[in-house]
Amino acid sequence: MSNQTKAAGGLSDPGRIKEVLSRHGFHFSKALGQNFLINPTVCPRMAQACGAGDCKGVIEVGPGIGVLTWELSQVAEKVCAIELDSRLFPVLEETLAGRDNVKIIPGDVMKLDLAQLIQEEFGGGPVCVCANLPYYITSPVILRLLEEHLPLTSITVMVQKEAAARLCAAPGSKECGAVSVAVHYRSKPQVLFPVGRGSFMPPPKVDSAVIRLDVLQQPPVAVEDEKWFFQVARGAFAQRRKTAANSISATLGVPKPQVEQALLASGVAANIRAERLTLEQLAALAGALGTAR
């Protein structure tokens, strides 16, 4: 048995995991997207990549049985792991026994007051986020973390391989979407490494990848109204088969000629599609449309 496996209490061993879960009467929930990360090499890589040493601690979302949590506790001053499924509380109490710098936070990450959590548990931060996110909440969680101006240094998360490509796609590229725009507006994203489906229990039907978003202190472009900027971005990508003008007009209710005029004022063709718009052009478009509102 490797030192890593010993250190994590044998929790990378499927037999050990099944024994622990069975003893606690736990069954995986498809509704909660539960695919526990058990790879003994991936978890230490994630923990090292998240930059825990550069901040006051780590917030983890969905600790599962605690394999990644254990590794985070080795490199972070403090770890707060947010868990929605109360059935896992006694499991985590067992698997993380002795990890005095770990605190399990019961609740839904989409509903908790994260600013208050960071203030109370980390003295206001800054903190980083490191998590094996349930795939069905990947985008909502990332967007919430980025849009609430929380004192974060970075977000290192496991996501579907295809989602990793979309999230990190630069505005102006074919894979870009509204979420990509928000990611690039708030952070500097990068795909760190791929992770095969066999690294999880139960194994998902898709492969995964770990991405890191380095949160920016200042956005790379200036916008007067961030809420409106994101509305315009979502509107532009809402109907991808249409031109940006048609999509924005249909989604936001702005007359098409007005949108086309704003596009021209932003220095782009009136019939451009959203995926060809750069971040700077989207910012200019939002500004032009905002002036005409």
Is 132 annotated for ligand binding? yes
Can you tell me the distance from the alpha carbon of 181 to that of 278, in angstroms, rounded to the nearest whole number? 9
271 is in an annotated binding site: no
Q: What is the 3-state secondary structure (H, E, C) of 73-103?
A: HHHCCCEEEEECCHHHHHHHHHHCCCCCCEE
State yes or no: 83 annotated in a binding site: yes
Compute the distance between CA of residue 4 and CA of residue 184 in angstroms, rounded to an integer.
35
CA distance 206 to 218: 35
What is the DSSP code (8-state) at residue 51? Answer: T
Residue 175 among known ligand-binding residues? no
Closest CA to 82 of 64, 107, 58, 65: 107
Amino acid making up residue 253: G
Report residue 6 as tokens. 């010993």
In this structure, the strands spanning 200-201 and 187-195 are unpaired
What is the Cα 204 distance to its own chain's centre? Answer: 18
Binding site listing: 35, 37, 62, 83, 108, 132
Binding site listing for S-adenosyl-L-methionine: 35, 37, 62, 83, 108, 132
